[in-house]
């Protein structure tokens, strides 16, 4: 298992030299004038339910109040990173016993500056994955047997320090692959044979989303690219604001109808027309914290989720928000620092904070039903040194998810555990030792939940 402190440092402050047509000036979190007038909310302005830097708490009025969840349904496929192009899956019927069926290696794990960051997808009885060197593998969903493996490295990038990450998406027997080697590719899902490959100016560390005959992916310079699914020909692009520091992992766009919503390292959440890239609205999910300089990393590394007319997203600088998809009007926000995708379901929306808190909030108004700290009791005190001088502080583990399965929230962590919570109460009902660190959310297909570890193992849980 990799060193958590080293990985978290890489995850949070990976500085990428990128260029763009615009820049964002750095804010000084300590240069605040507390004597100025209080802010007044104007029409359409987001109102935080809880003031900045205040501890989140469950609403007393919601104690013991029930809420609705979607009905349980079995999934035949999980073709894109979030399960659907809206990046939302309901209440899946999978892994009733939460027992590990098998684990299989699919390539090179996190090592020497290369990372396993691509979420798995599944279709046609196969699970498709990408290892730390950008090699795409297909594995049998029942047995874990490897069917084929294809490298995305074009052959001239062996020393490329950004040549990791990206991801895969599936449609109509083809895989669409984004790559840290500055390419987008089409592969045959049966054989792994490459159909077309198109160069990009910068590396792409997030998985693509596919819809309406187009492939969409966000590069590290905050450019949203579109490509023709059939030929790979580049289409329109959208350039967000430049940002010199961002999270190692990256987001995939969400699509509903003719609208695509993309999240960027600048903290911008942008809605555009899928046909031509015309922008509809922009929302900045960023705030300066008086207690954390890392809030200046404004990235939205988790996927935005579109559900029943609203867009849900969470940023590293501490904004968890609901925004009207059609108008871009703010509905509510909470001061949550997050690096994974929120999960709206039924009457509520779930999100996991960077510090390991699982939060269940009302979709309608953002009030909190319950919270559960998965890192409760974790000792962050420095280890080693002499008389308290020197030594290294332990970093809280990162948790990814959740996946809603059979009215349980399944959350995976760097700790080597999968934790199941009662989705109505937050009570921990089971812990499963998966013997491997993970930073990608679990997925489900058929009766099985699949987990990808940093050691490049695929684990089947039934």
pLDDT beyond 80 at 145: yes
Q: What is the mean pLDDT of residues 390-405?
A: 84
Lowest mean pLDDT among 236-245, 340-349, 367-376, 405-414: 236-245
422-454 confidence digits (pLDDT tens): 999 999 999 999 999 998 999 999 999 999 999
| Residue 413: partners with Cβ closer than 8 Å, 6 or more residues away | 356, 374, 397, 398, 399, 400, 419, 437, 438
pLDDT band at 344 (very low <50, low <70, confident <90, very high): very high
- What residues form DSSP beta bridges with 147? none
Q: For residue 212, how far is the Cα from the chain centroid?
A: 23
pLDDT of residue 114: 84
pLDDT beyond 90 at 283: yes
Which residue would you say has higher pLDDT here, 292 or 338? 338
Task: Annotate 180-205 with three-state secondary structure.
Answer: CCCEEEEEECCCCCEEEEEECCCCCC
pLDDT beyond 90 at 389: no
Going from the N-terminus, what domains does the chain have, and what CATH number goes with each?
Answer: 63-461 (2.130.10.10)
pLDDT of residue 406: 98
Q: What is the mean pLDDT of residues 131-144?
A: 96
| DSSP for residue 441 | -
pLDDT of residue 292: 47
d(CA 411, CA 417): 8
Helix (H, G, I), strand (E, B) or coil at 13: helix
Burial class (CB in 10 A: 0-12, 13-18, 19+), 383: exposed
Residue 436: closest CA among 412, 460, 455: 455
d(CA 105, CA 313): 32
pLDDT of residue 303: 95
Which residue would you say has higher pLDDT here, 162 or 385? 162
H helices then E strands: how many in the chain? 1, 36
| DSSP for residue 120 | P
Q: What is the mean pLDDT of residues 109-118?
A: 88
Q: What is the mean pLDDT of residues 204-208?
A: 93
Burial class (CB in 10 A: 0-12, 13-18, 19+), 58: middle
Lowest mean pLDDT among 164-173, 300-309, 378-387: 378-387
pLDDT beyond 70 at 2: no
44-75 confidence digits (pLDDT tens): 444 444 454 557 899 999 999 999 999 999 99
Please give the mean pLDDT across all residues of the chain. Answer: 85
- What residues form DSSP beta bridges with 323? 311, 330
Residue linked to tokens 């921990």 = 428
CA angle 120, 343, 217 (to 5 degrees): 50
Cβ-contact 318, 289 below 8 angstroms: yes
pLDDT of residue 127: 98
> What phi and psi, each to the nearest 5 degrees, are found at residue 232?
85, 5
pLDDT of residue 32: 34
pLDDT beyond 90 at 35: no
Lowest mean pLDDT among 53-57, 70-74, 246-250, 254-258: 246-250
């Amino acid at each position: 298992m990799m060193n958590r402190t080293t990985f978290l440092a890489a995850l949070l402050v990976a500085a990428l030299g990128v260029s763009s047509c615009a820049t964002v000036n750095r804010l000084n979190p300590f240069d605040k004038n507390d004597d100025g007038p209080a802010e007044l909310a104007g029409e359409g302005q987001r109102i935080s339910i809880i003031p900045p830097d205040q501890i989140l708490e469950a609403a007393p009025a919601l104690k013991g109040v029930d809420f609705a969840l979607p009905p349980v349904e079995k999934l035949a496929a999980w073709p894109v990173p979030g399960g659907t192009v809206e990046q939302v899956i309901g209440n899946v019927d999978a892994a009733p016993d939460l027992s590990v069926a098998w684990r299989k290696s699919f390539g090179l794990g996190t090592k020497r500056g290369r990372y396993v960051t691509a979420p798995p997808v599944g279709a046609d009885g196969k699970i498709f994955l990408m290892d730390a060197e950008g090699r795409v593998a297909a594995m049998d969903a029942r047995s874990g047997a490897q069917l084929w493996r294809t490298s995305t490295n074009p052959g001239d990038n062996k020393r490329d320090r950004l040549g990791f990450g990206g991801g895969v998406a599936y449609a109509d027997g083809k895989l669409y692959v984004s790559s840290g080697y500055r390419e987008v590719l089409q592969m045959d899902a049966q054989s792994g044979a490459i159909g077309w490959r198109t160069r990009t100016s910068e590396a792409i560390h997030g998985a693509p989303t596919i819809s309406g005959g187009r492939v969409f992916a966000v590069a590290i310079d905050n450019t949203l690219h579109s490509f023709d699914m059939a030929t790979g020909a580049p289409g329109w692009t959208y350039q967000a604001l430049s940002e010199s520091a961002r999270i190692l992992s990256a987001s995939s766009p969400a699509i509903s109808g003719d609208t695509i919503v993309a999240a960027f390292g600048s903290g911008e959440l942008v809605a555009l027309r899928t046909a031509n890239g015309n922008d509809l609205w922009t929302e900045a999910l960023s705030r300066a914290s008086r207690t954390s300089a890392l809030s200046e990393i404004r990235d939205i590394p988790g996927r935005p989720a579109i559900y029943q007319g609203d867009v849900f997203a969470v940023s590293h600088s501490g904004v968890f928000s609901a925004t009207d998809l059609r108008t871009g009007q703010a509905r509510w926000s909470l001061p949550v620092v997050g690096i994974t995708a929120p999960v709206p379901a039924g009457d509520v929306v779930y999100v996991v904070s960077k510090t390991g808190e699982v939060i269940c909030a009302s979709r309608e108004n953002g009030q909190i039903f319950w919270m559960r700290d998965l890192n409760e009791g974790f000792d962050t005190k420095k280890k080693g040194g002499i008389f308290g001088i020197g030594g290294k502080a332990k970093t809280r583990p990162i948790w990814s998810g959740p996946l809603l399965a059979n009215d349980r929230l399944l959350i995976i962590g760097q700790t080597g555990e999968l934790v199941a919570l009662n989705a109505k109460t937050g009570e921990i009902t089971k812990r499963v030792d998966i013997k491997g660190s993970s930073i990608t959310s679990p997925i489900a297909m058929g009766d099985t939940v699949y987990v990808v570890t940093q050691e490049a193992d695929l684990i089947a849980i039934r």
